[in-house]
Structure 1
Amino acid sequence: MDQIDYKSPPSPSKGLLQSPELYQYILETSVYPREPEPLKELREVTASHPRAMMATAPDAGQMMAMLLDLVDAKKTIEIGVFTGYSLLLTALSIPEDGKIVAIDISRESYEIGLPIIRKAGVEHKIDFVESEALPILDQLLEDPQNAGSFDFAFVDADKINYWNYHERLMKLLKVGGIVVYDNTLWGGTVAMPEESTPEHGKQGRELTIKLNKFLAADPRIRISHAPLGDGITICKRLY
């Protein structure tokens, strides 16, 4: 395997977790004790799903709950729902009269988490739309009242469209609003040589590297690239 050619030994990361044991320590010490019971139930139900790795990481979810609270989020968008962990988290975090536009190309996985969402008493906050996301975002933009009206967005869907989602979200989010992009470290492969990346991960790696460079260069946002879960990039709209 080829190695990255460093001119000097890399300094130890101050944020990226270096061991599974350390990650488990954070989960068991700081995340799971504060995880609401409905989220725990949904996480455990999702664990047996053949694509369980698609679920939002609970440590990333804890950060999202903090962000939702900090911006007093009431009107949000979610692109990519799966079984609904991040969706339920958002619904539990926003006020009783808050609303979430939740978009996914398939309702099947969402149906897994729906009984738990209903039991938690937050289904009324969710407007689930079974569709590709771009047509729905464009439809929202057709109504001038939606421009600059959303407080928060979470994107965890097809990586090839992250740029397209971003451009639309920059119009839908209010100034000061937050969008969080998931999987922005792509299993750590963004720091690997291409030839060392498993074949099934190469396209995602390339798209993620391009996205990260794009977000870092976008003057409309302030960003924080956080090594939580599979990497999340937190973007605050500046203007």
Structure 2
Amino acid sequence: MKSLQGKTIIVTGGSRGIGKGIALRFGEAGLNVLVVSRNQADADKIAAEIGETASGFSADVGTEEGCKAMVEAAVLRYGGVDVLCANAGIFPAAKLGEMTPADFDHVITTNLRSTFLSVSAVLPAMTTAGSGRIILTSSITGPITGYPGWSHYGASKAGQLGFMRTAAIELAPKKITINAVMPGNIMTEGLEGTGPEYIAAMEASIPLRRLGTPADIANAVLFFASEEAAYITGQTLVIDGGQILPESLGALEAMG
């Protein structure tokens, strides 16, 4: 793969979980990394792990002002924006009948509205540069699978893909591509405290018999950001260890 060294990426939700893994991986690849988080100290901590080519920035990416400010910071610090990873997301559980309109709106704002606002904010810089890469962190939950308590989360993640497909057509003349990764069960801070039995049950549902890592997702994001992926837009990549493939528990049992 051609080097991305010296280019600049913004990673929203970059201080934890998958976003942290993406930020660290792009730092290893030699990019300037703007780590965006609601909490400045958290963003600064990950930037410090990456080194002098990274910096932290605090923003609420569910607001237009926050997204514009993060892009302005990237342009001021690094001269432009080559890659956006719209990764910010939350997944609080609430079943229908218990979920309030405020619960629903909070997830949609954080996960889906932020995607629209982040993409809109980077367009001027990418248009001026004459190219750009946008990668969304979606999920298998919503577009392919479901899970009790996550109807709002599933709607937000499916919504990202609907947004992406039309955005890909609109952005193609500007030489800006937009694609999405769809993680399955990934071992992040969100699973801390669930206990070994819970983790083992999750692993048993995956043909590769392990949870994914943030690095597994980050490597796919890196490919979508590369020059080698220049002819790919509006596409999704499922990264789930084969989780969505078995038609039944019997299929998993027949693996041997």
TM-score between the two structures when normalised by the length of structure 2 = 0.48
Unaligned runs of 5+ in 2: 89-109, 186-216, 234-256
Q: Partner amino acid for 2:156?
A: L
The CA deviation string for residues 97-147 of structure 1, in whole angstroms up to 9 with x for no partner, is x532221012465577567x1xxxx4211220123134343135669x66x
1:76 match: secondary structure: strand
**Match among 42, 45, 56 for residue 128 of structure 1:** 56
- Corresponding residue for 2:117? 164
- AA partner of residue 153 (structure 2): G
Give the match for residue 240 of structure 2: none
CA distance in structure 2 between the aligned counterparts of 1:162 and 1:129, rounded to whole angstroms = 17
Q: CA deviation at 1:80?
A: 0.9
Residues 1:176 and 2:109 aligned together = no
Q: Alignment partner of 1:198: what SS?
A: coil
Distance in structure 2 (CA, Å) of the matches to 1:140 and 1:224 = 21
Whether the aligned pair in 1 keeps the contact of 2:164 and 2:179 (CA below 8 Å) is no
Deviation at 1:154, TM superposition (A): 1.4
Answer whether contact 1:76 1:100 (CA < 8 A) is retained. yes
Task: Decide which of 147, 152, 156 is 1:203's aligned counterpart.
Answer: 152
Q: Do the aligned partners of residues 153 and 73 (structure 1) sit closer, same or farther apart at CA in structure 2, a change above 3 Å counting?
A: farther
The range that moved more, 166-175 or 153-162, is 166-175
Runs (5+) with no aligned partner, structure 1: 1-65
Identify which of 33, 36, 45 aligns with 1:100. 33
Change (3 A) 1:141 1:154: closer
Q: Is the 8 A contact 1:81 1:87 kept in 2?
A: yes
RMSD across aligned positions (CA): 3.7
Residues 182-205 of structure 1: per-residue CA shift (max 9 Å, x gap)? 1x2x2343124xxxx334311121
Q: Is the partner of 1:124 in helix, strand or coil?
A: coil
Is 1:91 the counterpart of 2:27? The answer is yes
| TM-score normalised per structure 1 | 0.51
